[in-house]
Structure 1
Amino acid sequence: MVCRTLFWGLVFVTLMFDAHRAQECEEMTDLDLKHSLTGTSLSVRLLLYTRVNASCGQLLSHREPFSNPRFNLSLPSTFLIHGYRPTGSPPVWLTEFVKLLLQSRGMNVIVVDWNRGATNINYWKVVDNTRKVAANLTDLIQKMEEKGADLGSIHMIGVSLGAHISGFTGASFEGRIGRITALDPAGPEFNGRSAVDRLDPTDAQFVEALHTDMDALGYRDVLGHIDYYANGGADQPGCPRTIFSGSQYFKCDHQRSVFLYMSSLTDSCPITAYPCDSYTLFQDGECMDCGRFAPDGCPVFGYEAVRWKDRLLQLGQTRTYFQTNKESPFCKFGYKVDIVTWNQKTHWGYLTIKLSNGQKEAQVELNHKSLMFERFVESSVLAQFDRDVQPVKEVTLRFCTGKGLRPRKKLRLLRIRLTPLQNHRRPLCRYDLLLEENKDTTFRPIPCEDSNF
């Protein structure tokens, strides 16, 4: 009797132990620089997160995915794919990204952990592994489709090399996958390649790419139906400019793409993306017309950009630009500034504009190039402020030529007009104003006489 009781007790303990093991949380593979130096062989792990297990990853087999009862094919599925990991550590943004995705809607979030294979000092070996990772994902998605999953409900978010993995996977299904989001897609070994050897617009029903480090680790040219060039696509505000800043010098611009996209999931401060042929034209205020996107206006960058999918498919590949702050909230508040002067002679110079509501201030220096102020000819420029100051009670202008040893100039304004780019607010004007070089001139703006509002 005692032996029988002991036997069933052991069975019970074993079953409870197995049940506990089944509920253990899986985390992304954590390696170090030693693994990078010796090199790692590719091993792909798929970690499933749902709203039921939002903070507890569960292993998902690409061979037998439906053995996991939490994998629900009636829900949309989002694949989150990291890139090159030279130090072997998991991405710092991973946990928060998963959380934000699950907060946005019910879905399967599948983290593609290919850290073993991405951790290698030999970057070219890692590039070779991207095709193998894509083959693994293709196998899983084929099984999903066989079980009735809608490929249009699949969203692949790829960071750096992960962007091209997404493209290779999507190409296997001839672009029937719903959406690919490329976050600063990798440039080295992909720049200049033909479409079959990189991400391209035919890889999914909707392909978008964000560029933040195109002069170093990122891809330079357009890759999707819509390409966003944040702050011109290269140097990001707040990122170090010298190598003496350590590892942040190499990864800050590249990694900013992830944090910008994550910020769009909160939807607290949307960023408008303006179609334009170049960043210079964008800064000059030449690309503020969003009429071709009527009635919705210019696309909003980020997770909700799919709303503009049909219009973008009609327009073909669209290059867009926007500016951001150096940290969250990243959104800026823009004004198109139009100035008409009545000096006899043409002047060249720079403007600083400060807005105030009596309690808060926001200031911007328009110094990307010297502006030409010609008599009775309207000069335009884009002014992007780091915060929204409302209502604007005072505007302060400062004009300078940058030529300190010459006699100070005076700029006579026939009119200055500030047109808000967000929230359909009324344009503000001031008429007949004199600016003395290097001296602040403060005035109260008034509604523009020719306003259509």
Structure 2
Amino acid sequence: MLRFLIFICLAWSVSSDPDEECHTFTKLNFPNILVGTSLKVRLLWYTENFTCAKLIDSVLPLSFNTTKKTTFVIHGYRPTGSKPVWLAELIESLLQVEDMNVIVVDWNRGATNLIYSIASGYTWQVAEILKETIDQMLANGASLDNIYMIGVSLGAHIAGFVGQMFDGKLGRITGLDPAGPSFNGKPPNERLDHTDAQFVDVIHSDTDALGFKESLGNIDFYPNGGSDQPGCPQTIFSGLAYFKCDHQRSVFLYLSSLKKDCNITAYPCESYRDYLDGNCISCGAGQSRPCPLLGYYADQWKNYSKENDPPVTKAFFDTAGEKPFCIYHYFVDIMTWNKNIRRGYISIKLTDQDGNTIESKIRHEPATFQQYQQVRLLARFSQDIDQVKGLSLGFSTGPVLWPKYKLRIIWIKLRSITHPEKPQMCRYDIVLRENDEAAFKPIVC
């Protein structure tokens, strides 16, 4: 009997060990939202087990490995008090892609308020608490080079404030659609800035509403121009999703990069219009540097930076409306010999050896075709094929029935930008009749 009692006591003491207890993100309810919450920051630490977090209090746990890379995940405004829907997937994906410490900065008490300005007013205090934790890590052998911060919305500016406290020596900050309200028009010391870390990358997905429009990082990514995202609701009748879908898309695009379903490639450019017009070819095949990748591997871009490069680079790309969001890009070069100028739209179909077909309609604006002048177009496909065996072209000047114009093509060249290792395909001497599709077999240039 005595042995049994001793066993029960030992078992209870082990199970009640706070270092072994799994902690979860703070959950709040409707009364908390109405009354509002004061700031309380909890640091949830994940290592190998992405389903069980240990709580970091005022002192780092003895088992915390400071030689590992440490990634802080900082959420933003939480008007409903709920756990971020993307949080568990992000933790798991980060731990699968690299052996690291992941620390979720749970400041739900503070971020949950009906009045947004109250939540945004806590951002500097959250940053001060994180600085204390990082100071402890540094005292125990950590390096600022190995500190990575991923900030969502308000969390992006919190990461920037932490970076300022360390004079921009943090290894990296990723801002996922940094919050615009309360921060638009603010000077660099009052928001995220490219000087806040050794490398700062930003994804802008809701620049016309909840996000920050202007450049903030060393490289700023603008999916679909940075505002309306495909697949998101277009009317207010969709409820809460109408307000948050564009804003949250930045997080899901980042998640896609971790899963490596496909590499989302972006193109440095001055504007989205230039990108659509196919004028952004400063990277990729035949250039001195590759095109930047979105998300987790964006920091590879800094390995190719040059002394005379601007401190901030804008990069544009398009996405599909569903996971994994990838779009496959081809440059299409056309030389025509019509005596009269033709203005119209081109559609392209590519077919592989098995008969699978993909299509792109280049219709953001009509292209102008002049005699002996090269026209470069950017074709975007939601899927890709291994080898192009068939090519179909369509030409249209608009919704007219008569007369039907002809477009006389001297040559057309097709080159994959997403997969530059693929051979460039060509075809010569083609006549396109308006609204009629012309199919032919291309040859390697």
TM-score normalized with structure 2 length: 0.94
Instruction: Say if 1:33 and 1:86, in contact at 8 Å, map to a contact too.
Output: no
Secondary structure of 2:229's counterpart equals coil
Q: Distance in 2 between matches of 1:296 and 1:35?
A: 51
Instruction: Say if 1:435 and 1:441, in contact at 8 Å, map to a contact too.
Output: yes
The residue type equivalent to 1:323 in the other structure is D
1:129 aligns with 2:122: yes
1:15 maps to which of 13, 16, 24: 13
Match of 1:381 in 2: 377
Instruction: Say if 1:48 and 1:108, in contact at 8 Å, map to a contact too.
Output: yes
| CA deviations over 1:52-83 (Å, ceiling 9, x no partner) | x321011111x212xx2332111110000111
Q: Distance in 1 between matches of 2:162 and 2:119?
A: 17
1:320 maps to which of 296, 299, 315: 315
Match of 1:437 in 2: 434
Residue 6 of structure 1 deviates from its aligned partner by 8.4
Q: Distance in 2 between matches of 1:11 and 1:261?
A: 47
| Residue correspondence of structure 1 range 91-102 to structure 2 within 5 A | 91-102=84-95
| CA deviations over 1:150-190 (Å, ceiling 9, x no partner) | 01100000011110000001100001110000011111111
The residue type equivalent to 1:58 in the other structure is K
Stretches of structure 1 lacking an aligned partner (at least 5 in a row): 449-453
| Residue correspondence of structure 1 range 6-155 to structure 2 within 5 A | 8=6, 11-12=9-10, 14-19=12-17, 22-51=19-48, 53-61=49-57, 63-65=58-60, 68-155=61-148
Match of 2:163 in 1: 170
1:239 maps to which of 232, 241, 248: 232
Residue 138 of structure 1 deviates from its aligned partner by 0.8
| Residue correspondence of structure 1 range 399-418 to structure 2 within 5 A | 399-404=395-400, 406-418=402-414
1:250 aligns with 2:248: no
Instruction: Say if 1:46 and 1:59, in contact at 8 Å, map to a contact too.
Output: yes
TM-score normalized with structure 1 length: 0.93
Q: Distance in 1 between matches of 2:331 and 2:33?
A: 49
Q: Distance in 1 between matches of 2:187 and 2:333?
A: 43
The residue type equivalent to 2:10 in the other structure is F
Match of 1:451 in 2: none
1:424 aligns with 2:417: no
Residue 5 of structure 1 deviates from its aligned partner by 6.8
| Residue correspondence of structure 1 range 343-354 to structure 2 within 5 A | 343-354=338-349
Aligned length: 441
Q: Distance in 2 between matches of 1:157 and 1:292?
A: 31
Q: Distance in 1 between matches of 2:301 and 2:108?
A: 34
Residue 304 of structure 1 deviates from its aligned partner by 1.6
Residue 310 of structure 1 deviates from its aligned partner by 4.1
Match of 1:356 in 2: 351
Match of 1:308 in 2: 301
Q: Distance in 2 between matches of 1:430 and 1:217?
A: 47
Residue 133 of structure 1 deviates from its aligned partner by 0.7
Residue 252 of structure 1 deviates from its aligned partner by 1.0
Residue 329 of structure 1 deviates from its aligned partner by 2.4
Stretches of structure 2 lacking an aligned partner (at least 5 in a row): none
Q: Distance in 2 between matches of 1:359 and 1:130?
A: 55
Instruction: Say if 2:174 and 2:201, in contact at 8 Å, map to a contact too.
Output: yes
Match of 1:284 in 2: 277
The residue type equivalent to 2:87 in the other structure is L
Residue 226 of structure 1 deviates from its aligned partner by 0.7
Identity of aligned residues (%): 48
Match of 2:364 in 1: 368
Q: Distance in 2 between matches of 1:293 and 1:306?
A: 21
Secondary structure of 2:246's counterpart equals helix
Residues 219, 418 of structure 1: alpha-carbon distance in 2 compared, 3 angstrom cutoff: same
